[in-house]
Amino acid sequence: MRPDPSPVPKGRRQRLEQDLSTCLPRHPALVLVTDLDGTLLSGSPQWRRRFYRWLRAQREHVLHVFNTGRDLASIARLLREETAMGLEAPHLVISDVGCTVACGASLTPIPLVVEPIERRWRGQAERVLPLLRTIPGLSPQPVSAVRRLAYLIDPDLLDRSRLHAVTAHGVDCLVSGDKYLDVLPAGVNKGSTLTALLDWLEVTPDTVVTAGDSLNDLAMFETGLPGVMVGNAEPALVEALPLLRRVYRAKAHGCGGIVEGLRHFGHGALLAGHF
C-alpha cells in the first residue's frame, strides 16, 4: 500500500479564503480600496448610483475593499441604509482605522489578519485610559471601538502637546478633521493593515488603487500604492500631497473623483460602457 501523499502546503490566499463566507474574484483586474465617508459615500447622488452600479457589474473583476474608521456595527447599518442607492457589501472590510479586518458579506472578523493587531493592543487600553481621562477636551465616542479608543475633540479645550504623554506608552494618536482622536496600537493604521491584507491576497501592487479624503487616509497613501485623493479632501491631507509619490489629486468629489483616478491609473477599459 502506498503511503498517503504529504499534504500540499496551502498558499496564503487559500488560507485567507477559508475564513471567508464569500468568494473573491480569482484574478482581479483591479483591487479597489475605498474609504467611506467623504469618498465612496460622497459625490452627487447620480454619480454615486452609477458608481455603485458599476461595482455590482464588475464584481468578478474588481475586488472591492472598504478601508474606514467606522466600526463593523456602523458599516452594517450603513449597508442597510444605502440599499436604495444600490451600494452592496464589498468583498473585504478594513474597519476601526486599520484595527479590524472582516469578511465583506458576513462582517465577521478574519482571525488570521486580526490576531497580530490584537497582540499589539493587549493591555494598552488599561495603561492609557487613566491618563486620557485627565486630558481636557476629550470625550469618548459612542462607538463599539475594538483594539483602539475613539474620542471626540473639543479643539478649544484640547492641548495637543498632552498627547505626547499618551504616545509614550507605546500607542499611536491619530487626529482627523480636527474632530476625532483615535488611540491605536503602535504602527497600526489604514496603511499597515492594507499592506498586510494585500500580502494575504497575493496581489501585485500595480493592480491596486486606493481612494480617500481625510488625514486618517494619509497612511494608506504613504504605502506608495496608486492612490486617488478626491476633490473634497480635507486641507490637512492636501498639504501632504507633494510628498505622496503615487497619489493623483482628482478634481471631482467622492465617486466622481474615484472614476477620474481610475482613468488616470490606466483602468479606463474597466469603466467602458458605464461612464
Total length of the chain: 275
Q: Which of 17, 19, 37, 82 binds Mg ion (CB under 5 A)?
A: 37
Q: How far apart are CA 207 and CA 244, in angstroms?
A: 18
Choices 28-36, 90-98, 228-236, 243-251 (CB under 5 A): range interacting with Mg ion: 28-36
Give the nearer residue to Mg ion in terms of CB position, either 128 or 260: 260
Beta bridge partners of 67: 94
Q: Does 177 bind Mg ion (CB under 5 A)?
A: no
Q: Which stretch binds Mg ion (CB under 5 A): 101-109, 179-187, 192-200, 214-222?
A: 214-222
Q: How far apart are CA 54 and CA 152, in angstroms?
A: 35
Scan residues 194-213 and list those touching Mg ion (CB under 5 A): 213
Stretch that binds Mg ion, among 37-45, 72-80, 137-145, 264-272 (CB under 5 A): 37-45
Rounded to a whole number of angstroms, the minimum distance from the CB of residue 74 to Mg ion is 13
Instruction: Examine residue 38 and tell whether it contacts Mg ion (CB under 5 A).
Output: yes
Q: Is 88 in the site for Mg ion (CB under 5 A)?
A: no
Cα–chain center distance at 269: 25
Strand partners, 174: 182
* Residue placing its CB nearer to Mg ion in the complex, 192 or 214: 214
- Tell whether residue 98 is a contact of Mg ion (CB under 5 A): no
Q: Locate 166 and state its grid cell.
A: 499618551
Strand partners, 92: 65, 103
Q: How many residues bind Mg ion (CB under 5 A)?
A: 5
Backbone φ and ψ for 252, nearest 5 degrees, come out as -75, 155
Selected from 214, 225, 227, 252, the binder of Mg ion by CB under 5 A is 214
Stretch that binds Mg ion, among 34-42, 94-102, 240-248, 262-270 (CB under 5 A): 34-42
Q: Does 71 bind Mg ion (CB under 5 A)?
A: no
Strand-pair category, 92-95 with 62-67: parallel
* CA–CA distances in Å: residue 234 to residues 93, 165, 177: 23, 27, 7
Distances, alpha carbon 11 to alpha carbons 162, 201, 202, 260, in Å: 45, 9, 9, 35
Based on the shown chain and the rule CB under 5 A, indicate whether residue 43 belongs to the binding site for Mg ion.
Answer: no
Please give the sequence-ordered ranges of beta strands (E in DSSP) within 35-127, or none if there are none: 62-67, 92-95, 100-103
Q: Is 48 or 207 the residue whose CB approaches Mg ion more closely?
A: 48
What residue number has its CB nearest to Mg ion? 38
**Coil, strand, or helix at residue 94?**
strand
CB of 37 to Mg ion, least distance (A): 4
Strand partners, 181: 151, 175
- Tell the smallest beta-carbon distance from residue 76 to Mg ion (Å): 18
| Cβ contact 236:216 at 8 Å | no
Indicate the residue among 108 and 232 with the shorter CB distance to Mg ion.
232
Pair 68, 94: CB distance under 8 Å = yes
> Which range, of 27-35, 103-111, 181-189, 192-200, touches Mg ion by CB under 5 A?
27-35
For residue 217, the minimal CB distance to Mg ion (Å) is 6
The residues that touch Mg ion, with contacts defined as CB under 5 A, are 35, 37-38, 213-214
